[in-house]
Chains A and B, each alone.
Chain A
Amino acid sequence: MRETARTAAMAGLGVLVGGIALKTGASHTVWQIDPYKCSWCGLCATACVLQPSAVKCVQIYPMCGYCKLCTGYFEPEPNALNTAAENQLCPTGAIKRRALEDPYFEYSIEEELCIGCAKCVKGCTLFGNGSFHLQIRHDRCVNCNECSIAVVCPAQAISRVPADQPYKFKSREHHA
């Protein structure tokens, strides 16, 4: 189940990578976030030249705990563990919760709704497995000469990376 979900997610990203070359011009580099440096300050939502931001939350399914109490989904002290809006921490309702076999739940990001605010990333990383993290999505990013978010990022988490390796996804392998 998890591998299938992961494969689906990665296949989607693979399609996006193909379009990057068109935008990178001669530079052959694009901007990307190092998820292990990001300190979830929230500026990715507001500092991008695009609104909504080119930064989106990514879910790495093989790292996810499929928790009933997902700390990236629920407010710190939710009234109940259900999908009522007041229990969700995402300001845009971009995270979808789907019951699997008891007691597991799957959490996925509806990218059109995500504004890259990092709230869920902080909750997931502080208290959970850290499978949610932010990435600049290259089907949206216009690859500014100077990324406006990188200029203000307090963690200096954003740098140029080779255009043929445009994502810095978290992975279990990294942790191992």
Chain B
Amino acid sequence: MKQPPPQPHESAIALTRRGFLGALAGSAATATVGAAPAPPSRSNPYEYKVDHLFKTDPKHLLYDTHGTLRLPVSDGRRVAVGPENQIWVSAGKTLLIFTSGLEKLREIQALDVIRALAVDADGTVYVAVKDHVEVFDPQGRRREPWNIPAANTWFTGIAVAEKDVFAADARNRVVLRYDKSGRLLGRLGEKDTSRKIPGLIVPSPFLDVEVAPDGLLRVTNPGRHLVETYTFDGSLVGSWGKTSMGVEGFCGCCNPINIAMLSDGRCITCEKGIPRVKRYSAKGEFEGVVVGPESFPEGLRTGAVFNKWDGSMAGVDAATDRQGRVLVLDQASNTLRIMVPKKPAATT
């Protein structure tokens, strides 16, 4: 299927794999300082060629940028949509609340860096910080934080339903189900052969959960490159996702990192490594790209901007609003983009 990439300067270096292995026998022990080597070629015979993966075929691009907002507070990380289509963004320890037209309304301060947020229909917001959940009422007043028993919790996702709150704990590879007072009701996603649940694989701290319009949960299984569907009581009812570096799949150690649901059940996925935001049908068929890797800063493509390992710097997050827009938060440039579906080409 695939041919090894050509190595144009291999002969100049004379280090083909076989040749190298032969030459190596016993060489390490006797390695000596040679004469000063000729100035090395700047070309790289060992180049790992992936540039093509960072470009999107225009035919896959489904959305246009409708507006952008550079966040007024640094460390923008997560985005959610609240009542009246308000846009809620977390930036460090701050919650910023905007109108759907990106006018700032107010802000709320959390006690710690916010890793995920979910806004209830009445404007109550559930904020996951590393190891506990803070709750703010619709007026922005802090309620009693939930008492989460110490278990090395590392929350990276949160979702709210009519009566339940689901918090994704990446470190323990589990989604915890709570009632709205913070009482633990159940655990989802853990390996359980009797229930045919293979278990969540979370190689790095990215695990997300959403409540879908069909009344079921969608949970990322990033180490398996899947989006899984669970009932609230933890039965696994399906999954989709394909391991591939191609645009239709997920690649790297852990993708997708974050998801969002459209009102018709389609799913928006965010990826790191090859930073991209894509749309899948409700059945998990690849439909196209919301924002391609070429639209993100170089630093996001190399991870160079994130010297973080705390689960808060995922690179990209997304939410959807009732107009079907996709709100994309690019952490590298601390910018929120509003993406709208492309208009069909006019026919004459």
B340 to chain A, nearest CB (A): 30
Is the CB–CB distance between B48 and A122 below 8 Å?
yes
Given A42-B45, A42-B46, A127-B252, A49 and B309 touching (CB < 8 A)?
A: no
Let me know if B243 and A43 touch, CB within 8 A. no
Structural contact, A42 and B47, CB atoms closer than 8 A:
yes
Chain B residues closer than 8 Å to A91, beta-carbon distance: 15-17, 20, 46
CB contacts (< 8 Å) of B225 on chain A: these are 69
* A67 adjacent to B223 (CB under 8 Å): yes
CB interface residues, A 64-87, toward B, < 8 Å: 65-71, 75-79, 85-86
Q: Which residue of A lies closest to B307 (CB)?
A: A175
Give chain A nearest CB distance to B138 CB in angstroms.
34
**Complex CA–CA separation, A127 to B40 (angstroms):** 28
Q: Does A10 contact B (CB under 8 A)?
A: no
Q: Answer whether residue A47 sits at the interface, using C-beta atoms and an 8 A cutoff.
A: yes
- Please tell me if B31 contacts chain A, counting CB pairs below 8 Å: yes
Q: Is B195 an interface residue (CB 8 A)?
A: no
Instruction: Report how far A112 CA is from B253 CA in the complex, Å.
Output: 27
Chain B interface bracket (under 10, 10 to 19, 20 to 34, 35 or more): 35 or more
A133 CB–B CB distance under 8 Å: no
Of B39, B48, B251, the contact of A119 (CB 8 Å cutoff)? B48
Could you tell me how many residues of chain A have their Cβ less than 8 Å away from some Cβ of chain B?
56
A65 to B252, CA, bound (A): 10
The complex places the Cα of A89 from the Cα of B4 at a distance, in Å, of 9
User: Is B346 at the interface (CB under 8 A from chain A)?
Assistant: no
CB-based nearest B residue for A37: B304
List residues 240-271 of chain B with CB under 8 A from any CB of chain A.
243-246, 251-254
Q: Check B203–A67 contact: CB distance below 8 A.
A: yes
Chain A 87-108, CB within 8 Å of chain B: the 1/0 string? Answer: 0010111000000000100000
The yes or no answer to B24 lying at the interface (CB within 8 A) is yes
Determine whether the beta carbon of A117 is less than 8 Å from that of B46: yes
| A49 cross-chain contacts in B, Cβ below 8 A | 33-34, 36-37
Interface membership of A176, Cβ < 8 A: yes
Indicate if B150 sits at the interface (CB-CB under 8 A): no
A66 to B223, CA, bound (A): 10
B273 at interface by CB-CB < 8 Å = yes
The answer to whether A75 and B31 have CB atoms under 8 Å apart is: no
Q: Find A79's partner among B2, B45, B251, B252 (CB 8 Å cutoff).
A: B2
Contact of B28 among A41, A67, A112, A176 (CB under 8 A): A112
A69-B243, A92-B20, A175-B310 known; A76-B252 Cβ under 8 A: no
CB contact under 8 A between A103 and B223, given known A43-B40, A52-B27, A152-B40:
yes
Contact status A115-B15, CB under 8 Å: yes
Known A79-B1, A103-B224: A65·B302 in contact at CB below 8 Å: no
Q: Is A126 an interface residue (CB 8 A)?
A: yes
A interface residue numbers (CB < 8 A to B):
36, 40-43, 45-52, 63, 65-71, 75-79, 85-86, 89, 91-93, 103, 112-113, 115, 117-119, 122-123, 125-130, 140, 142, 144, 148, 152, 172, 174-176
Which 8 A-B residue pairings sit nearest by Cβ, starting from the closest? A175-B309, A65-B203, A42-B44, A127-B252, A117-B46, A127-B273, A65-B253, A128-B253
5 more contacts with CB within 8 A, not counting A41-B44, A49-B37, A152-B40, are A49-B36, A65-B223, A89-B48, A128-B252, A175-B307
